Amino acid sequence: MKATLVFSLAMLAMTIGVSADTIIEKDPDFGPWWNPLGNGGTYVYADCFIAPAGDTQVTSLGMWLEPLGGEPYPEGNTGIAGIQSPGDKAQGGNSVLRFQVWGDAGGPNWAQVIATTEEFSTETAGLNFYSLPVNAGGSLVPGTKYWFVGTGVGMGNPALGAYRVGGHTQNSDYNDNCTFWYSNDPSGQNFDGQNLTPEMAFQVVLSSGPTPSQVVTWGRIKSLYP
In this prediction, residue 160 has a pLDDT band, given cuts at 50, 70 and 90, of confident
Residues 6, 30, single domain; the answer is no
Residues 85, 181, single domain; the answer is yes
Residues 89, 195, single domain; the answer is yes
What's the pTM?
Answer: 0.76
pLDDT at residue number 24: 96
In this prediction, residue 161 has a pLDDT band, given cuts at 50, 70 and 90, of confident
**E strand intervals along 33-97:** 44-50, 57-69
Residues 181, 215, single domain; the answer is no
Residues 7, 102, single domain; the answer is no
| pLDDT(70) > 70 | no
pLDDT at residue number 100: 97
165 closest CA partner among 93, 79, 94? 94
Residues 33, 78, single domain; the answer is yes
Residues 115, 173, single domain; the answer is yes
Question: How many distinct structural domains can be found in the chain?
Answer: 2
| pLDDT(188) > 60 | yes
Residues 3, 107, single domain; the answer is no
Residues 135, 48, single domain; the answer is yes
pLDDT at residue number 16: 43
Residues 196, 224, single domain; the answer is no
Average pLDDT estimate for 203-225: 48
Collect all residues with Cβ–Cβ distance below 8 Å to 156 and sequence separation of at least 6: 38, 39, 93, 95, 96, 119, 121
**Residue 78's domain is classified under what CATH number?**
2.60.120
Residues 89, 132, single domain; the answer is yes
pLDDT at residue number 72: 47
| pLDDT(198) > 70 | yes
- Rounded Cα distance, 190 and 213, in Å: 37
Average pLDDT estimate for 155-174: 90
Q: What is the pLDDT of residues 6-26, one digit of tens each?
A: 333 344 444 444 457 899 999
Give the domain extent around 141.
Answer: 20-209
DSSP secondary structure of 190-210: --SEEEESSEE-EEEEEESS-
- Rounded Cα distance, 147 and 69, in Å: 27
pLDDT at residue number 209: 67
Residues 143, 53, single domain; the answer is yes
| pLDDT(207) > 80 | yes
Q: What is the pLDDT of residues 111-141, one digit of tens each?
A: 999 999 999 999 999 999 999 999 977 899 9
C-alpha to C-alpha distances, 109 to 37, 102, 114, 189, nearest whole angstrom: 18, 6, 10, 8
In this prediction, residue 75 has a pLDDT band, given cuts at 50, 70 and 90, of very low
